[in-house]
Amino acid sequence: MYESAADLLKNSNSDFFDIYREKSYIRMLQAKNGQIEDVKVGFEEGVGVRLVKGLSVFYSSSTNTDEDSVYKIAKFITDVANPKQGRFDITPFELKRVEMWGGYKPDLERIAEIYDEFCSVAYKKAEVKQVSLTFSDRKKQIEIINEKGELLKEERIYTVLFFELTAREKQITQTIRRPFGVLGGFEYFDGWDFKGLAEEETEKLLNLLKAPPLKAQKMTVVLSSQAGGTMIHEAVGHGLEADLVYENLSVYKDKLGQKVASEKITVVDDATRPKMRGSFYYDDEGERSKNTVLIENGVLKNYMFDKMYARLADKQTTGNSRRESYRFAPIVRMSNTYILPGEDNPEDIIASVDYGLLVKRMGGGQVNPTTGDFVFEVAEGYLIENGKVKHMVRGATLIGNGPNVLNEIDMVGSDFGVEVGTCGKSGQGVPVSDGEPTLRIPSIMVGGSSL
């Protein structure tokens, strides 16, 4: 496959290159207002050709995947990369085939049944005004030719189930959202008690509707393992991506070997974990996925690298090169990023707080990776008084600085939880997972009502 194009790229005086071919089978079902509103099924195929010299990236993509088209793309790229070079003395390119394929199990009828189960529970409450569900799965068949002479084949299946419930009482409207995702097919959800989940989420929504606003103040915050790793992903993870580091856009630049967090904190990025949404066998330039320790016992050990920035820094790639699709050149990205569990009992962490906030679910937010400053919404939070979890509160936000928070965490739970999402960077979105144990932040600014 594409040996003639690979011959050109191999002999172009580049540092490395790749030819990335992708076939994607996409399905989506959306339901709201008690009925199925939209079902989409699609197929997409294309190829991207990349050549890298130093920090210069030459990239082009096409939906035409035949041999002649790819050869013309490779010829155009090599001519642009070597404008004064004549005909290449081409050395034949030999391929070593490496395959990694998976399975696929669709079931749209079951999705409709799950939505009916949710509606049968939630719409019993007069305050609930809308129940929506979005299901999507994408099967990606990927083939990568790289400069090592490898033809790598991998199949990834991304399945997402997303619920959103909205309730209104008088002048107050509240919404809760629950995303679930897996690297694998819908069989991951076999045996789940969706009716029980609907009952639990409906009760939380009604409690949120009646919850008092929290007054803005500094206080102790406990991040539950149920909150996932939004904090570590947004406030810390992006700052450890090598492209931001070497472009002077990270607060962690020039801090390798230095203490950047509490000694209780170890942070890893691990694309090798089975079924986690951010996992893969090969990254998108053909490097084997890895479990990379980024921060160990508070000390910064490594950044996340692709091949280009690893070459610049005289380091080894960590297998963190990812792309949304064949339309994009790969860039340095997180996969599954999380804080490892510690030794503290989660119940003891809550019991240690005289007055504070328990965060069980995070919402959206904003982060400046250059400084580490952040603002995050609290989607589900509870007041803690005298070591006991009290009523739910609404309208809270966490305002702080990622490196400062990592240094101040003084208790790390023995539990662990994961949330899923899609990470956006440079106009591309890729599947990720974030995780953490229960964490105690002794003091942080909690935004809320000024009353």
Structural contact between residues 131 and 34, judged by C-beta atoms closer than 8 angstroms: yes
User: DSSP character for 329?
Assistant: -
pLDDT exceeds cutoff 80 at 93: no
Q: Which three-class secondary structure state does DSSP give residue 209?
A: helix
Q: Which two tokens stand for residue 196?
A: 């029980």
Residue 99: pLDDT band (50, 70, 90) is: low
> What's the CA gap between 216 and 450, in Å, rounded?
6
For residues 286-305, give the mean pLDDT: 97
351-354, long-range: CB within 8 Å, 24+ apart, which pairs?
351/387, 352/387, 352/411, 352/440, 353/220, 353/222, 353/384, 353/387, 353/440, 354/220, 354/385, 354/386, 354/387
> What's the CA gap between 9 and 220, in Å, rounded?
57
Ranking 72-76, 345-349, 361-365, 387-391 by mean pLDDT, the lowest is: 361-365
pLDDT exceeds cutoff 70 at 226: yes
Residues 410-433 have pLDDT tens digits of 999 999 999 999 999 999 999 999
Structural contact between residues 159 and 137, judged by C-beta atoms closer than 8 angstroms: yes
> What's the CA gap between 12 and 232, in Å, rounded?
41
Which structural domains are found in the chain, ordered by start? 3-210 (3.30.2290.10), 217-447 (no CATH)
**% pLDDT > 90, the chain:** 83
For residues 190-215, give the mean pLDDT: 95
> What's the CA gap between 317 and 333, in Å, rounded?
12
> What's the CA gap between 429 and 178, in Å, rounded?
19
Question: From residue 253, how far is each of 167, 231, 314 by CA, in Å?
Answer: 45, 19, 15
> How deeply is 314 buried, as exposed, middle or buried, from its count of CB atoms within 10 A (0-12, 13-18, 19+)?
exposed
> At residue 218, what are phi and psi to the nearest 5 degrees?
-85, 135
> What's the CA gap between 163 and 11, in Å, rounded?
51
Query: Quick one: pLDDT at residue 86?
Result: 54
Looking at this protein, which amino acid is placed at residue 23?
K
**Could you identify the residue written with the tokens 């960077």?**
425
Q: Which two tokens stand for residue 35?
A: 């009925």
> How deeply is 108 buried, as exposed, middle or buried, from its count of CB atoms within 10 A (0-12, 13-18, 19+)?
middle
Spatial neighbors of 159 by CB under 8 A, at least 6 apart, are: 136, 137, 181, 182, 184, 185, 186, 188, 189
Query: Quick one: pLDDT at residue 451?
Result: 46
Question: From residue 392, how far is each of 200, 206, 214, 331, 344 by CA, in Å?
Answer: 14, 10, 9, 41, 24
The beta strands (E) that lie in 170-275 are given as 172-183, 217-223, 267-270
Query: Quick one: pLDDT at residue 90?
Result: 63
Q: Count of alpha carbons within 13 Å of 125, Cβ hemisphere only? A: 24
Residues 320-379 have pLDDT tens digits of 999 999 999 999 999 999 999 999 999 999 999 999 999 999 988 888 988 999 999 999
> What's the CA gap between 242 and 248, in Å, rounded?
10
Q: Which three-class secondary structure state does DSSP give residue 70?
A: helix
Query: Quick one: pLDDT at residue 110?
Result: 87
> What's the CA gap between 282 and 269, in Å, rounded?
15
Residue 202: pLDDT band (50, 70, 90) is: very high
Residues 145-176 have pLDDT tens digits of 999 988 999 999 999 999 999 999 988 999 99
Q: Which two tokens stand for residue 124?
A: 């019993």
Beta-strand pair 417-425/428-436: antiparallel
Query: Closest by alpha carbon to 416, among 223, 225, 182?
Result: 225
